[in-house]
A and B are shown apart, each in its own frame.
Chain A
Amino acid sequence: MEFVDYYKILGIDKSASDSDIKSAYRKLARKYHPDLNPNDKEAHKKFQHINEANEVLSDPEKRKKYDKYGKDWEHGEEYEKARQQQQSRQQQYNYGDYNFAGSDDDGNFSDFFSSMFGRSEGGRKGKQAKFRGEDYNAELRLTLTQAYTTHQQTLTVNGKKIRITIPAGVENGQVIKLKGHGGAGLNGGPAGDLYITFVIEEHPTIKRSGNDLYTTLDIDLYTAVLGGEVTVDTLSGKVKLKVSPETQNGTKIRLKGKGFPVYKQEGQFGDLYVTYTVKIPTNLTERQKELFRELATP
Chain B
Amino acid sequence: MQTDDLILAEELCSHYKVELSFISSLQQFGLIEVTSVEEAAYVPQRELQKLEQIARLHYDLDINLEGIDAISHLLDRIKSMQSEITFLKNRLSMYERR
Contact B87 A171 (CB under 8 A): yes
| B-side contacts of A26, CB under 8 Å | 61-62
**Most central of B17, B59, B79, B87 by chain A CB within 10 Å:** B87
A256 at the interface (CB under 8 A from B): no
User: Which stretch, B5-13, B21-29, B35-43, B49-57, touches the partner chain A?
Assistant: B49-57
Nearest Cβ distance between residue B49 and chain A, in whole angstroms?
A: 7
Contact B63 A174 (CB under 8 A): no
Partner of A209, one of B60, B78, B91: B91
Contact B61 A33 (CB under 8 A): yes
B89 at the interface (CB under 8 A from A): yes
| B-side contacts of A207, CB under 8 Å | 94, 97
Total residues of chain B contacting the partner, CB 8 A: 23
Decide if the interface of chain B is mainly helix, strand, loop or mixed: helix
Q: Give the distance in Å from the alpha carbon of A137 to the alpha carbon of B49 in the complex.
A: 20
Q: Give the distance in Å from the alpha carbon of A207 to the alpha carbon of B53 in the complex.
A: 39
| B-side contacts of A39, CB under 8 Å | 82
A 154-183 to B, binary, CB cutoff 8 A, 1 in contact else 0 = 000000000000000001111000010000
Residues of A within 8 A of B (CB): 26, 29-30, 33, 35-36, 38-39, 127-128, 171-174, 179, 202, 207-210, 214
Residues of B within 8 A of A (CB): 17, 49, 53, 56-57, 59-63, 71, 75, 78-79, 82, 86-87, 89-91, 93-94, 97
